[in-house]
């Protein structure tokens, strides 16, 4: 089996379904790994900064090995399909931005999407929307990358590797919490949810 198909299948299996968003992250990850001459990170050899929380992040995690749990996936809430990946071994980094190319969302597509996402679409409308999505998916997977992506090498100050922290016990719920995330409430350690319950209002707990 071709490696590209294998990688795509792995991304789909992890994400749960095929969609244009997943295809964006898949191709962005492929570009980043090629430009950095790197393979999938088993530890923190690579660091990724993503500017979206959309579907493409799942493909990026699968292909690059950058994950939230390992501490080498950093999220910036910018709402952009932009993925920056840095290589700790070489100090190089690549920023890959999805530009969309010549694909245009026409009015019918926008209306269909609104109806489908709003749970108001008829079976026929769902079928039509599905065809649009499949066309867009294939366009993203097959279009020349320079037509739909902008990739540029950038300077990136790589963050320190993830640290392990001691735990303390929240005095209010009894659950362990990382010491660095603990708060103090009434002179005692508290987790963030318990600390946020604190109020100085009269007649409140």
pLDDT at 2: 61
pTM: 0.81
The domain containing residue 84 runs over which residues? 3-101+143-153
Is 125 contained in some domain? no
Residue 77 shares a structural domain with residue 41 = yes
pLDDT at 205: 45
Q: Look at the chain and report how many structural domains it folds into.
A: 2
Residue 94 shares a structural domain with residue 178 = no
Helix axes 20-35, 3-15, angle to 10 degrees: 130
Residue 49 shares a structural domain with residue 148 = yes
Residue 74 shares a structural domain with residue 149 = yes
Task: Tell me the pLDDT tens digit for each residue of 10-22.
Answer: 999 999 999 999 9
Contacts of 177 (CB under 8 A, 6+ apart): 167, 168, 169, 170, 189, 191, 192
pLDDT at 200: 52
Q: Which helix (H) or strand (E) holds 196?
A: helix 192-196
Residue 141: is its pLDDT beyond 90? yes
Residue 26 shares a structural domain with residue 65 = yes
Residue 80 shares a structural domain with residue 49 = yes
Residue 55 shares a structural domain with residue 148 = yes
Q: Dihedral of CA 17/52/67/64: which sign?
A: positive
CATH of residue 22: 3.30.1330.130
Burial category of 50 from C-beta neighbours within 10 Å (exposed 0-12, middle 13-18, buried 19 and up)? buried
Mean pLDDT of 79-87: 97
Spatial separation of the C-alpha atoms in residues 91 and 93, rounded to whole Å: 7
CATH of residue 176: 3.30.60
Residue 23 shares a structural domain with residue 66 = yes
Is 124 contained in some domain? no
Average per-residue pLDDT for the chain: 90
Spatial separation of the C-alpha atoms in residues 24 and 30, rounded to whole Å: 10
Is 118 contained in some domain? no
Give how far the C-alpha of residue 83 lies from the chain's centroid of Cα atoms, to the nearest Å: 9
167 DSSP 8-state letter = E
- Mean pLDDT check: name the lowest of 1-15, 24-38, 113-127: 1-15
Spatial separation of the C-alpha atoms in residues 9 and 133, rounded to whole Å: 18
Mean pLDDT of 112-127: 89
74 DSSP 8-state letter = E
Q: Residue with structure tokens 């950038």?
A: 154
């Amino acid at each position: 089996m071709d490696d590209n198909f294998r990688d795509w299948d792995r991304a789909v299996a992890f994400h749960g379904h095929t969609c244009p968003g997943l295809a964006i992250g898949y191709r962005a990850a492929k570009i980043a790994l090629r430009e950095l001459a790197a393979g999938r990170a088993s530890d923190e050899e690579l660091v990724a900064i993503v500017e979206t929380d959309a579907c493409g992040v799942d493909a990026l995690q699968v292909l690059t090995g950058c994950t939230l749990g390992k501490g080498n996936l950093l999220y910036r809430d910018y709402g952009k399909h932009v993925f920056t990946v840095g290589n700790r071994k070489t100090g190089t980094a690549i920023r890959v931005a999805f530009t969309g190319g010549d694909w245009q969302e026409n009015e019918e597509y926008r209306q269909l999407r609104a109806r489908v996402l709003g749970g108001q679409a008829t079976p026929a409308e769902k079928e039509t929307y599905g065809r649009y999505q499949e066309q867009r998916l294939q366009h993203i997977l097959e279009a020349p990358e320079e037509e739909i992506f902008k990739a540029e090498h950038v300077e990136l100050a790589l963050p320190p590797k993830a640290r392990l922290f001691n735990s303390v016990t929240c005095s209010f719920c009894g659950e362990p919490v990382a010491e660095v995330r603990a708060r103090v409430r009434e002179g005692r350690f508290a987790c963030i949810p318990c600390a946020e319950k604190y109020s100085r209002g009269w007649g409140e707990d």
